[in-house]
């Protein structure tokens, strides 16, 4: 087992061992490109160092041997007093973490070798500039001294010698800077700057290892979901110098524009500079094209190499290079990071150039990237400081005046942001009317978030710094900013930021395309839309998985069709009882006799009928899975505390309202400590007489009406929240009875598949028996996650989830990305046992996970027939299903 590898010993496929940078250097070396020689210390050494707290004992000998080889190859000695070799020490993990870890250049310089370097290069200035760079980088990264101290000293030197920037400092001034830098080090550490080149090297390597665990590196890895246990490799490379005068410089370049995907090389160049100057933004670089004027030979060579690299990697590459007195050196290459827009465009470009096939093109874009392209966004030019931040629950950008209840949202002209402490079903009309939703409580699966996502509406929840005073119609942000009703605010559902005032928003052309609002010419003119539309065709041609939509209204259904859903996988009928119809449900609950109940149900019937007719008409010929009423009834009643206070106040004034008293009694009767585990789902259907019969009656009549109109309606009736087959069988009997009755009465043979949701562990574990009676399953993975983990879907996000994510208990919320190991296993068991009992059992999923890219791949793998998600996520699921199939 070895730790150290010369560049010519590796290749691009050894990223685990050599890190991304080491693998790229090895590959370029093997391609015969001009790479300065060097070696890579493998990631395993870092892992050992981090677990043992010491360098692996065998590492020193290996470094010695490679250093000797390097010195022999260069014909120079590290840090020698005569013509010294210098080296750079640079981090390089398997996954690139730009700017997160350390780099130290010019190692090997000391009070003697600086003169040797000056003599060899024929430039005092260059040698002292390199020395001050070494001490500066070493001091801040290896010794941990505040970089600002060095920056301030450099500024002071520039000021006192009247220089406009560091390039204008002459050798004498730089000598002075070195003296000051050394004093800073002495002062901060009580030690002199180490003069022994080998000690410098060892300390630098150790610092790179340790930089793996800095706070910013950990934060970055969490964000990018990079495992914490990989460690970084260290690349030691013979220095070439970009600071050797005006015919030297350094730059970074991309083989295409990584922001837009436009073809043609793209980059920045800085003359008389070393490595970090370009990225650090110390001086403003010039566009790569300007190199044409400065050094056309090197530019031509660079273009040739970049073309070769792109052909070789068959992908966007980025490179770092240095020109030393007219000679080009390649210091790094890797597959370049890119925006979502660029990813789509480039995949199509490489496909059209014949470098990759459709399968690979689909592999180059992700559902998450498509999602990014579908949100309206704040103008990237804006500069504003957020007044608060919350949980980004539904992406996008929304600007509007703050309103504090549903009625104001509906009544206010123009765009509004509904601001609530939390939302209840009562707020639905407000959510519909508003352009964005902001709450100070709740998490990503809170009602507000689910509903907003379903509508593709921007939503920030759990902004707990906000003090919302709905009575006074205002809120106060943490810094003391007060926003009153009518004041304009802007919310960013991608970052969770809340801003005072208006920020410009640009709509997504990709959504305009899916909505069918772009004409052929507009489509042709927008290369991103073009790329997306072609990719969707490739995905649709290949996907095995059906993609349905969760849709509760004819409008949603229309959009589902426009977005090419294969049907409706979940129609939540309770949404039809909200808003103005809520009082009917209230009356149903308060009804004291069977007659009264029947009367209310008879009032509800035509409304439900109208809803179903509308939806079935939109979805003619496609399946529409209608779920019977699910949520606990108390959600349709006023809040217990608020009503209690109201009644108590009225009593104190001697003005008792008997209606309110009666209502309060009902609210108390239905009040549950744990409503999510209480009287809801199938339990409601079994204990509230007439409710299910009314719903099925409406479905059957609606189907009959559509058949009479010459359509082909395909309703499917779904029972929620069963724990086992007994509940289902009872429901099934009732459903069949009503279907039969309506068929008889109408003279039309009405057929509907009857199936169930699987959203409790017990249902999953007894799926075989359930499937004997159910024609289809649809996994309700929201409730299944809630009940499998025992996490409240409404509370976790603002509560302990941040700590859980922090501790790495899971990388993403299990309510967003399916927990394959636990919840996924229940799903897999139910699929297997359900199909064993009924071969043609139709199986889908309709929880939030149905639109989550990684979950979609899982559902494909375990053989589901379809996923169902909000209409706006339909294209994302289609793309991901296509990607899963290739
Ligand atoms: C589910 O539980 O996953 C589901 C789709 O039902 P709801 O979100 O309406 O509870
Ligand atoms: Mg559910």
* pLDDT tens column, 662-704: 889 988 988 888 888 999 999 999 998 899 999 999 999 999 9
What's the gap in Å between 781 CA and the centre of ligand 1? 7
Share of the chain above pLDDT 70, in %: 97
Reported as a single tens digit per residue, the pLDDT across 291-329 is 999 999 999 999 999 999 999 999 999 999 999 999 999
What's the gap in Å between 785 CA and the centre of ligand 2? 10
Of 783, 789, 868, 870, the one to substitute when testing ligand 1's pocket (max ligand atoms within 8 A of C-beta) is 783
Asked whether residue 874 is assigned to any structural domain, the reply reads yes
Q: Could you tell me which residue, 313 or 278, shows the higher pLDDT?
A: 313
If asked whether residues 554 and 493 sit together in one domain, one would say no
Residue 461: per-residue pLDDT:
86
Kindly give the pairing relationship between strand 397-403 and strand 623-627.
unpaired
Pick from 486, 503, 520: which residue ends a domain? 503
Structure token pair of residue 696: 């099925």
Nearby residues for ligand 2 (ion, Cβ within 5 Å): 759, 780, 783
Structure token pair of residue 592: 């004291």
Cβ neighbors of 223 (< 8 A, separation 6 or more) are none
If asked whether residues 233 and 256 sit together in one domain, one would say no
Element (H, E) at 420: strand 416-420
If asked whether residues 726 and 866 sit together in one domain, one would say yes
If asked whether residues 436 and 296 sit together in one domain, one would say no
Asked whether residue 359 is assigned to any structural domain, the reply reads no
If asked whether residues 74 and 159 sit together in one domain, one would say yes
If asked whether residues 328 and 274 sit together in one domain, one would say yes
Reported as a single tens digit per residue, the pLDDT across 360-417 is 999 999 999 999 899 888 887 788 899 999 888 777 899 999 999 988 998 999 999 9
Residue 814, number of CB atoms within 10 A of its CB: 25
Q: Is the pLDDT of residue 83 over 80?
A: yes
Number of the ligand 1 atom closest to the C-alpha atom of 779 = 3
Q: Cα 669 to chain center, whole Å?
A: 43
Q: SS3 of 536, please?
A: helix
Nearest Cα neighbor of 14 from 301, 264, 307, 233 is 233
Reported as a single tens digit per residue, the pLDDT across 195-246 is 999 999 999 999 999 999 988 788 778 767 788 999 999 999 999 999 898 9
Asked whether residue 216 is assigned to any structural domain, the reply reads yes
User: Which residue has the least CA distance to atom 1 on ligand 1?
Assistant: 780
What's the gap in Å between 759 CA and the centre of ligand 2? 6
Poorest-pLDDT segment among 302-311, 448-457, 707-716: 448-457
Mean pLDDT of 248-257: 92
Q: Is the pLDDT of residue 281 over 60?
A: no
Half-sphere exposure of 457 (CA within 13 A, CB side): 25
Kindly give the pairing relationship between strand 416-420 and strand 397-403.
parallel
Structure token pair of residue 428: 């639905």
Name the strands in the sheet holding 482-484, side by side, starting at the edge strand that comes first in the sequence. 467-469, 474-476, 482-484
If asked whether residues 819 and 709 sit together in one domain, one would say yes
Q: Is the pLDDT of residue 17 over 80?
A: yes
Asked whether residue 525 is assigned to any structural domain, the reply reads no
Pick from 186, 219, 238: which residue ends a domain? 238
Of 788, 830, 846, 851, the one to substitute when testing ligand 1's pocket (max ligand atoms within 8 A of C-beta) is 846
Pick from 206, 238, 270: which residue ends a domain? 238
If asked whether residues 253 and 232 sit together in one domain, one would say no
Instruction: Identify the domain containing residue 190 by its residue range.
Output: 4-238
Q: What is the CATH number of the domain that holds 328?
A: 3.30.470.20
Rounded to 5°, the CA angle 157-163-164 comes to 120
User: The complex's ipTM?
Assistant: 0.99
Q: Please report the DSSP string for 280-342 in residue order.
A: HTSSPPEEGGGHHHH-HHHHHHHHHHHHHHHHHHTS-EEEEEEEETTEEEEEEEEEPP--HHH
Ligand number nearest CA of 447 is 1
Which residues carry out catalysis? 447, 846
If asked whether residues 312 and 421 sit together in one domain, one would say no
Question: Hey, which residues does 474 pair with through a beta bridge?
Answer: 469, 484
If asked whether residues 222 and 267 sit together in one domain, one would say no
Q: Could you tell me which residue, 424 or 647, shows the higher pLDDT?
A: 647
Ligand number nearest CA of 453 is 1
Residue 446: per-residue pLDDT:
63
Q: What is the CATH number of the domain that holds 410?
A: 3.50.30.10
Q: What is the CATH number of the domain that holds 134?
A: 3.30.1490.20
Residue 575: per-residue pLDDT:
74
Residues with CB under 6 A from ligand 1: 570, 572, 630, 759, 780-783, 846-847
User: Which residue has the least CA distance to atom 9 on ligand 1?
Assistant: 572
Asked whether residue 514 is assigned to any structural domain, the reply reads no
How many domains does the chain contain in total? Answer: 4
User: Which residue has the least CA distance to atom 4 on ligand 1?
Assistant: 780
What's the gap in Å between 705 CA and the centre of ligand 1? 29
Q: How far apart are the first and last CA of the chain?
A: 38
Half-sphere exposure of 2 (CA within 13 A, CB side): 14
What's the gap in Å between 862 CA and the centre of ligand 2? 21
Q: How far is it, in rounded angstroms, from Cα 452 to Cα 670?
A: 28
Asked whether residue 645 is assigned to any structural domain, the reply reads no
Q: Please report the DSSP string for 152-177 in residue order.
A: HHHHHHHHHTT-SSGGG--HHHHHHH
Mean pLDDT of 816-820: 95
Q: Could you tell me which residue, 665 or 736, shows the higher pLDDT?
A: 736
The secondary structure of residue 140, as a DSSP letter, is I
Number of the ligand 1 atom closest to the C-alpha atom of 572 = 9
Q: What is the CATH number of the domain that holds 860?
A: 3.20.20.60
Ligand number nearest CA of 573 is 1
SS3 content of the chain, % helix, strand, coil (to 5): 50, 15, 35
Asked whether residue 419 is assigned to any structural domain, the reply reads yes
Asked whether residue 194 is assigned to any structural domain, the reply reads yes
If asked whether residues 483 and 592 sit together in one domain, one would say no
Reported as a single tens digit per residue, the pLDDT across 424-443 is 767 777 888 899 999 988 76
pLDDT category at 806 given cuts 50, 70, 90 is: confident
Compute φ and ψ for 40, nearest 5 degrees. -120, 130
If asked whether residues 782 and 880 sit together in one domain, one would say yes
């Amino acid at each position: 087992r070895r730790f150290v590898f010369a560049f010519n010993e590796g290749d691009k496929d050894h990223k685990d061992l050599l890190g991304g940078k080491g693998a790229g250097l090895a590959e370029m070396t093997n391609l015969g490109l001009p790479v300065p020689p060097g070696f890579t210390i493998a990631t395993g050494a870092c892992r050992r160092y981090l677990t043992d707290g010491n360098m692996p004992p065998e590492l020193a000998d290996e470094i010695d041997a490679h250093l000797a080889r390097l010195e022999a190859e260069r014909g120079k000695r590290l840090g020698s007093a005569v013509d010294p070799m210098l080296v750079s020490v640079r981090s390089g993990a398997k996954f690139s973490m730009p700017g997160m870890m350390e780099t130290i250049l010019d190692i090997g310089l000391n009070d003697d070798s600086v003169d040797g370097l000056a003599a060899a290069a024929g430039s005092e200035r260059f040698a002292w500039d390199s020395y001050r760079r070494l001490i500066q980088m070493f001091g801040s990264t290896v010794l941990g001294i505040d970089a600002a101290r060095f920056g301030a000293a450099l500024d002071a030197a520039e000021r006192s010698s009247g220089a406009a920037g560091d390039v204008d400092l002459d050798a004498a001034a730089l000598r002075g800077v070195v003296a000051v830098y050394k004093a800073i080090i002495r002062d901060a550490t009580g030690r002199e700057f180490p003069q022994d080149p080998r000690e410098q090297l060892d300390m630098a390597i150790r610092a790179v290892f340790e930089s793996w665990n800095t706070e910013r590196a950990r934060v970055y890895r969490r964000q990018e979901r990079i495992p914490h246990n990989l460690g970084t490799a260290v690349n030691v490379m013979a220095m070439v110098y970009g600071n050797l005068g005006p015919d030297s410089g350094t730059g970074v370049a991309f083989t295409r524009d990584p922001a837009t995907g436009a073809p043609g090389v793209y980059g920045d160049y800085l003359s008389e500079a070393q490595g970090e100057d370009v990225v650090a933004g110390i001086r403003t670089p010039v566009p790569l094209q300007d190199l044409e004027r400065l050094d056309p030979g090197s530019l031509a060579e660079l273009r040739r190499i970049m073309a070769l690299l792109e052909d070789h990697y068959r992908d966007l590459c980025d490179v770092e290079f240095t020109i030393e007195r007219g000679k080009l050196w390649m210091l790094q290459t890797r597959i370049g990071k890119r925006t979502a827009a660029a990813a789509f465009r480039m995949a199509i470009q490489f496909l059209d150039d014949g470098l990759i096939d459709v399968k690979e093109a689909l592999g180059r874009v992700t559902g998450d990237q498509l999602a990014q392209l579908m949100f309206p966004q704040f103008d990237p030019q804006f500069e504003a400081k957020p007044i608060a931040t919350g949980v980004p629950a539904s992406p996008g950008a929304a600007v509007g005046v703050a309103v504090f209840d549903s009625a104001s949202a509906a009544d206010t002209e123009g765009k509004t942001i509904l601001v609530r402490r939390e939302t209840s079903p009562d707020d639905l009309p407000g959510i519909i009317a508003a352009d964005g939703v902001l709450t100070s409580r709740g998490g990503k699966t809170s009602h507000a978030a689910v509903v907003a996502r379903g509508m593709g509406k921007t939503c920030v929840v759990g902004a707990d710094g906000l003090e919302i005073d709905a009575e006074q119609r205002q809120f106060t942000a943490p810094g003391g900013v007060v926003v009153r009703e009518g004041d304009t605010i802007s919310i960013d559902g991608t970052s969770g930021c809340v801003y005072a005032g208006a920020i410009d928003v640009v709509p997504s052309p990709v959504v305009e395309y899916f909505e069918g609002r772009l004409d052929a010419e507009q489509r042709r003119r927008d290369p991103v839309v073009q790329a997306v539309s072609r990719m969707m065709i490739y995905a649709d041609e290949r996907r095995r998985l059906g993609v349905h939509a969760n849709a509760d209204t004819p409008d949603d259904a229309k959009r589902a069709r426009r977005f090419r859903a294969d049907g409706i996988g979940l129609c939540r009928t309770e949404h039809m009882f909200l808003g103005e119809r809520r009082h009917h449900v209230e009356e149903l609950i308060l009804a004291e006799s069977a007659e009264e109940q029947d009367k209310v149900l008879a009032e509800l019937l035509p409304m439900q009928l109208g809803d179903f007719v509308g939806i079935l008409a939109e979805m003619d010929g496609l399946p529409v899975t209608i779920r019977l009423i699910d949520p606990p009834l108390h959600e349709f009643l006023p809040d217990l505390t608020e009503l209690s206070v109201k009644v108590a106040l009225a009593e104190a004034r001697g003005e008792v309202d008997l209606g309110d008293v009666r209502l309060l009694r009902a609210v108390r009767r239905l009040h549950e400590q744990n409503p999510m585990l209480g009287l809801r789902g199938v339990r409601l259907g079994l204990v509230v007489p007439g409710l299910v019969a009314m719903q099925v009656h409406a479905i059957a009549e609606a189907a009959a009406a559509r058949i009479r109109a010459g359509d082909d309606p395909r309703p499917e009736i779904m029972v929620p929240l069963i724990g086992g087959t007994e509940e289902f069988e009872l429901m099934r009997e009732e459903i069949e009875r009503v279907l039969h009755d309506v068929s008889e009465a109408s003279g039309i043979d009405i057929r509907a598949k009857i199936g169930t949701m699987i959203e409790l562990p017990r249902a999953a574990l007894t799926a075989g028996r359930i499937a004997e009676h159910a024609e289809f399953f649809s996994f309700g993975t929201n409730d299944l996650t809630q009940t499998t983990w025992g996490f409240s879907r409404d509370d976790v996000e603002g509560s302990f989830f941040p700590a859980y994510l922090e501790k790495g208990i899971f990388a993403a919320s299990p309510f967003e990305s399916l927990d394959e190991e636990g919840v996924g296993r229940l799903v897999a068991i139910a699929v297997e046992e359900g199909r064993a009992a009924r071969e043609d059992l139709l199986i889908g999923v309709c929880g939030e996970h149905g639109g989550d890219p990684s979950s979609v791949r899982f559902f494909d793998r375990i053989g589901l027939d379809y996923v169902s998600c909000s209409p706006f996520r339909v294209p994302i699921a289609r793309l991901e299903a296509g990607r899963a199939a290739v």
